[in-house]
A = this chain, B = another copy of it.
Amino acid sequence: MTAHDFDAAIDLEPLGDGRFRGHTHPAYANMVGPFGGITAAVLTRAVEVHPDRLGEPLALTVNYAGPVADGEFEIRLDAVRTNRTTQHWTLELTQDGAVATTATAVLGQRRETWSDTEARMPQAPPPDELPVSPVPPVTWAQRYEMRFAEGPVPGHGVKPADTSTSTLWVRDSPTRPLDFTALTALCDIFVPRVYIRQARMMPAGTVSLTVHFHAVGDELRDQGDDYVLASASASRFSAGWADQSATIWSRAGVLLATTHQLVYFKD
């Protein structure tokens, strides 16, 4: 059995003192540097493997401060405060001493309480009833199988769309069991919403990504390597900036994560 490229891409070598060495992986390359989702995933991974870690990921914010060059990088992270049920982390990804990415993470304990999901899962045919969609022409996108249920397939829209909403079934390709790192990466698989609205590509990229993890107990393990239903839309485009909010659902209707990002664009 060969290790999945995803695991190779988030592999970290401990350097001591809360420092880890990682390296970009060609399988997750973007047009320039790595896929933002894999960078977010390796930051989640750094917290997971840190010996001081207590609890599970609850909230993550990643700020893409500058380009990540292909090659080695270093992650420095610190549990700046550990409470009884929460732990607060700050993280920095550097290359040659220059900060490329900053992040904060909140970990915590989950315990039985009243629960309810208010958000509605988007309606979509089962994945097997939808064709496999062509993915965007970047390397990392080949690492996902996408089956669009709502909205134009990016790059194949004939005209500008009235709304930016995309809803698709998606899973790792080849498949891989879902965990917090893979869920983190899935939160960033959407093309910039402005591509959908304008039916064309333009310079655009995520500057800040926030993930709120909702999966509880066995919900991630139960997911196995099945598809998730991922749905994204923007609230406002203006002055070179747009937001994007997305929900990530299991086939059984479990809301696994909500995620929000701020994206720059140049039209």
Contact = CB atoms under 8 A, between A and B. Distances in A.
Given A108-B264, A207-B58, A237 B116 contact: yes
A123 interface: no
What is the count of identical protomers in the complex? 2
A255 interface: yes
A53 interface: no
A238 B215 CA distance: 9
Contacts of A208: 58-59, 61, 104, 106, 210, 212
Contacts of A198: 114
Given A86-B264, A99-B81, A104-B102, A212 B63 contact: no
Contacts of A262: 58-59, 106, 212
Contacts of A216: 238-239
Contacts of A164: 118
Contact of A239 (B63, B112, B238): B112
Interface in A90-130: 90, 92, 98-100, 102-104, 106, 108-119
Nearest to A112: B239
B197 A214 contact: no
Consensus secondary structure, chain A interface:
strand
B104 A80 contact: no
Interface of A: 58-59, 61, 63, 65-66, 80-81, 83, 85-86, 88, 90, 92, 98-100, 102-104, 106, 108-119, 163-164, 194, 197-198, 207-208, 210, 212, 214, 216-217, 233-241, 243, 245, 247, 255, 258, 260, 262, 264-267
Given A61-B208, A112-B239, 11 more contacts: A61-B104, A63-B106, A65-B80, A106-B262, A114-B237, A115-B236, A116-B197, A116-B236, A117-B235, A118-B164, A212-B262
24 contacts: A61-B104, A63-B106, A65-B80, A81-B100, A81-B102, A85-B240, A86-B207, A106-B262, A108-B207, A108-B240, A110-B239, A110-B241, A111-B239, A114-B198, A116-B197, A118-B233, A208-B212, A210-B260, A214-B236, A214-B241, A216-B238, A235-B255, A236-B255, A236-B258
